Amino acid sequence: MIFNLATGYALQALAGLPESGEYALTRDLAERLELPSPYLAKILQNLARAGILESSRGPKGGYRLARKADQISVEKILFALEGEDALNGCVMGFPVCDASHPCPMHDAWTAVKTQMEASIISTTLADLRRAAVFKSKPKSARKR
Amino acid sequence: MIFNLATGYALQALAGLPESGEYALTRDLAERLELPSPYLAKILQNLARAGILESSRGPKGGYRLARKADQISVEKILFALEGEDALNGCVMGFPVCDASHPCPMHDAWTAVKTQMEASIISTTLADLRRAAVFKSKPKSARKR
DNA sequence: TTAAATTAGGACCAAAGGGTCCGAAATGAT
DNA sequence: ATCATTTCGGACCCTTTGGTCCTAATTTAA
Ligand code: SF4
Ligand code: SF4
């Protein structure tokens, strides 16, 4: 996969968090998404530190989005969790990225990367929330 | 990055190995490419087990390609080192990949993936060997 | 003011990737 | 035969990622 696990969890979680008003509980969210609760908690903390989530402790506390869902791009989330240059460097993992000595895959890879960047920039949480896939997993995918 | 480090090393190494005749030494190869020699050795062993390389022990031994360079695709190398389904699954790392419940990035991701697959299938070692980037690293990239 | 609920933060554990090292097996040359 | 050379294979180490657990701090409500 391209993003790491935590980022995938974050996207699923963020897509299921309220935009404003009521805070949602880590525990409930983890249960709904069937994700490991303590690990999800860590991720949510990171997102809160990054300013993507607002948190409140104590009863009636929890997490909610810090901005409108359509103001939070997938790119912002990726960068918050994996660093600003998560998309920099050679997609094939080679150390030298010299345009004057491109390897034979360079043009193809560049196109791939451009396309990736375009989609993560233009896709926001508001788009993700419209997806059913985040809200219900088929029974067959659950461990028995 | 998308491929793991070992796969990148493998591509660089394979691009520098003889097609037939003389065997090349792991040590020399590692030195030329400035890669960690014992680790490269492991990777070459894996490639030999996978039938991509031929090996010979003892003096005058070493490694060489098992087939012509234009018969070895990047895909073959990827699959040998990272498994047949290295490209399967959701690029975003989500567990459920149900075409009937696509998330909003699905079409974009599918296009990215299709493009990736096309390039790794159509690019062979023969193509990679023509690249200068594998043969000389700029001094500035070396640790002093 | 006290108690319950909830995040914050750190210590800790496990698995995988990246990397080193060493002894055993094979092979070519003397 | 012997020896030097090289791959083979496994054991081992370090770092990162994924994941758990416990305690402290904060907030609400009785
Ligand atoms: S030229 Fe090849 S190795 Fe260099 S960045 Fe482009 S794809 Fe990677
Ligand atoms: S629909 Fe979305 S989550 Fe599912 S495989 Fe496609 S990109 Fe991944």
CA distance linking residue B124 with residue B76, whole number of Å = 9
Go through the domains of chain A in sequence order and give each one's CATH number: 5-139 (1.10.10.10)
Task: Out of A109, A110, A112, A116, give the residue to mutate to test ligand 1, the one with the largest number of ligand atoms within 8 Å of its CB.
Answer: A109
Would you place residue B139 in the very low, low, confident or very high pLDDT band (cuts 50, 70, 90)?
Answer: very low
Alpha carbon of B36 to those of A7, B13, B28: distances in Å? 31, 12, 11
- The per-residue pLDDT for A87 is 86
Q: Which residues contact A28 (CB under 8 A, 6 or more apart)?
A: none
- Chain D footprint positions (protein CB, under 7 Å): 4-10, 17-22, 25-29
Distance from the alpha carbon of residue A2 to the mean position of ligand 2, in angstroms: 12
Distance from the alpha carbon of residue B113 to the mean position of ligand 2, in angstroms: 12
Write down the pTM of the prediction. Answer: 0.87
What's the whole-number mean pLDDT along residues B125-143?
59
Contact A3 B108 (CB under 8 A): no
Task: Write down which residues 44-63 in B have CB closer than 7 A to strand D.
Answer: 44-45, 48-49, 55-59, 61-63
Q: Which atom of ligand 2 is nearest to the CA of B91?
A: 8
Q: Which residues contact B17 (CB under 8 A, 6 or more apart)?
A: B24, B29, B53, B63, B64, B65
* Whether residue A17 has pLDDT greater than 60: yes
